[in-house]
């Protein structure tokens, strides 16, 4: 049974990790595309229109890959997690269906119109299609986060005698106190990813002395969007999320922060340390006293519960991975703010385009927001364990009893092989698009 649960979780973790490479770019990039298209309508400067169409090509490749990798992921609800689907399908099925409508109909339909319909529709309607692609991508994120928020903090439900969850208050799904902070944090983080990608392409063009006008535009846009979104990820959205975890999942918060023992007054914030699960402590820790209490409650001496205050069965089942994922996310987020503040300063001083060392840094930073976003999701999902629906349905109660661990491992290996090929195809397509560059200045 334990092997079956392990492989079911590994398969879902692998498929959702690979899948989330793509929507985290499309959600943020759709906003930047709207910005470029709006600038073109306002100024009639052709390079803004070309920039919008160039990034919509990259958007389309990511969107297609997201659809291809998202469908098998959702099938796993019926294969590996059939009991979970049977018990909670009456609730999560509604938001997942709405997500499908947003993604497959609104987002994909207007994506096609944007790519092929500019001459037919005219510029104002073309801008409207870009805005509706943005709206569809963010609505899709909203419905996915509504599903996840219900699993993190279930509201508006009733449990029948047969164990099934039924919805008693539809509006509660969308007024869930977990939802808005999680959505804002997630969307700001997706803008960070897209900003670094846009800025890194701009830095690449400048360093290569190719498409330099577009390079300067992309770099400037990426830095401005990146600075704003990097700060928003930390405050207020990250702060709001952390306070939700403290309030609704205190055991997860203690594990994230590495608090093994409850302090009498004032909790330190851990900068560096390694969880020692045998001795229930952090090895080699570097910490700043009382800061965590102040950040959490705005009180220097406020007590925060450690893991010693909870039953072993209620603690997250992989504390070291949760701890490291959280600190990687926070550490990278801090670095993003630093890089973008520095880049914005030199942009303001009109020196950025000539600073090769900083341009190389920005270009090679592109993969790291992906890592930060994915580890952020790991924090949310590992923190909810050992529950699928927090406090109500344990992970061990949601697996499919008829799917063996061998079957799951076999299909997991198949996914690894197939997704490796898809990843190579994706890199080739995006690389080819970037190498060709925006069209108008190439002729």
Q: What percent of the chain has pLDDT over 90?
A: 91
Nearest to 422 by CA among 19, 139, 6, 13: 19
- Rounded to whole angstroms, what are the CA distances from 244 to 82, 115, 294, 299? 29, 41, 16, 17
Residue 196 DSSP symbol: H
Question: What end-to-end distance do the CA atoms of the chain give, in Å?
Answer: 63
Kindly report, residue by residue over 25-68, the tens digit of the pLDDT.
Answer: 999 999 999 999 999 999 999 999 999 999 999 999 999 999 99
| Residue-level pLDDT at 203 | 98
pLDDT confidence band for 105 (50 / 70 / 90): confident
Is a pLDDT exceeding 60 seen at residue 443?
A: no
Nearest to 308 by CA among 346, 259, 342: 259
| Residue-level pLDDT at 148 | 97
| Summary count for the chain: helices (H), strands (E) | 16, 6
Is a pLDDT exceeding 80 seen at residue 440?
A: no
In this structure, the number of other CB atoms found within 10 A of the CB of residue 63 comes to: 24
Question: Average pLDDT for residues 2-16, to the nearest whole number?
Answer: 92
Kindly report, residue by residue over 304-336, the tens digit of the pLDDT.
Answer: 999 999 999 999 999 999 999 999 999 999 999
Is a pLDDT exceeding 70 seen at residue 120?
A: yes
- Tokens representing 417? 């092989």
Q: What percent of the chain has pLDDT over 70?
A: 99
Question: Average pLDDT for residues 275-284, to the nearest whole number?
Answer: 95
Question: Average pLDDT for residues 403-424, to the nearest whole number?
Answer: 94
Kindly report, residue by residue over 343-369, the tens digit of the pLDDT.
Answer: 999 999 999 999 999 999 999 999 999
Is a pLDDT exceeding 90 seen at residue 264?
A: no
| Residue-level pLDDT at 442 | 45
| Residue-level pLDDT at 3 | 83
**Distance (Å, whole) CA 44 – CA 38:** 10
Nearest to 430 by CA among 130, 198, 186, 103: 198
pLDDT confidence band for 102 (50 / 70 / 90): confident
423: phi then psi, degrees, rounded to nearest 5: -65, -40
């Amino acid at each position: 049974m334990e092997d079956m649960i392990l492989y079911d979780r590994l398969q879902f973790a692998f498929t959702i990790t690979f899948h989330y490479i793509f929507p985290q770019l499309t959600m943020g990039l759709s906003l930047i595309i709207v910005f470029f298209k709006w600038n073109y309508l306002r100024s009639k400067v052709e390079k803004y229109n070309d920039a919008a169409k160039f990034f919509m090509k990259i958007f389309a490749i990511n969107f297609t890959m997201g659809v291809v990798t998202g469908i098998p992921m959702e099938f796993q609800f019926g294969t590996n997690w059939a009991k979970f689907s049977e018990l909670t399908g009456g609730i999560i099925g509604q938001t997942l269906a709405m997500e499908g409508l947003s993604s497959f109909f609104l987002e994909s339909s207007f994506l096609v119109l944007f790519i092929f319909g500019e001459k037919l529709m005219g510029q104002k309607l073309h801008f409207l299609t870009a805005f509706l692609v943005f709206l569809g991508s963010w609505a899709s994120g909203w419905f996915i986060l509504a599903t996840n928020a219900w699993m993190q903090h279930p509201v508006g439900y009733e449990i029948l005698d047969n164990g099934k969850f039924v919805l008693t208050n539809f509006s509660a799904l969308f007024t869930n106190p977990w939802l808005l902070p999680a959505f804002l944090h997630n969307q700001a983080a997706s803008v960070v990813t897209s900003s670094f990608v846009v800025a890194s392409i701009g830095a690449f063009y400048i360093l290569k002395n190719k498409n330099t006008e577009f390079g300067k535009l992309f770099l400037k846009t990426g830095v401005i969007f990146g600075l704003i979104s990097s700060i928003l990820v930390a405050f207020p959205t990250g702060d709001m999320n952390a306070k939700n975890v403290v309030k609704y999942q205190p055991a997860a918060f203690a594990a994230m922060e590495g608090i093994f023992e409850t302090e009498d007054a004032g909790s330190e914030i851990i900068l560096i340390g390694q969880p020692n699960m045998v001795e229930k402590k952090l090895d080699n820790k570097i910490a700043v006293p009382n800061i965590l209490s102040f950040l959490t409650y705005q009180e220097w001496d406020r007590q925060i519960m450690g893991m010693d205050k909870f039953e072993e069965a209620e603690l997250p089942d992989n504390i070291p991975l949760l701890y490291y994922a959280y600190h990687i996310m926070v550490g990278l987020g801090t670095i993003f703010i630093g890089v973008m503040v520095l880049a914005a300063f030199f942009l303001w001083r009109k020196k950025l385009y000539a600073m090769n060392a900083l341009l190389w840094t920005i270009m090679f930073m592109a993969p790291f927001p992906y890592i930060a976003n994915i580890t952020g999701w790991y924090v949310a999902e590992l923190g909810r364990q050992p529950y699928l629906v927090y406090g109500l349905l344990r992970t061990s109660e949601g697996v499919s009893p008829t799917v063996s661990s061998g079957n799951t491992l076999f299909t997991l290996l198949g996914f690894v092989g197939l997704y490796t090929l898809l990843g190579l195809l994706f890199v080739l397509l995006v690389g080819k698009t970037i190498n060709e560059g925006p069209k108008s200045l190439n002729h």
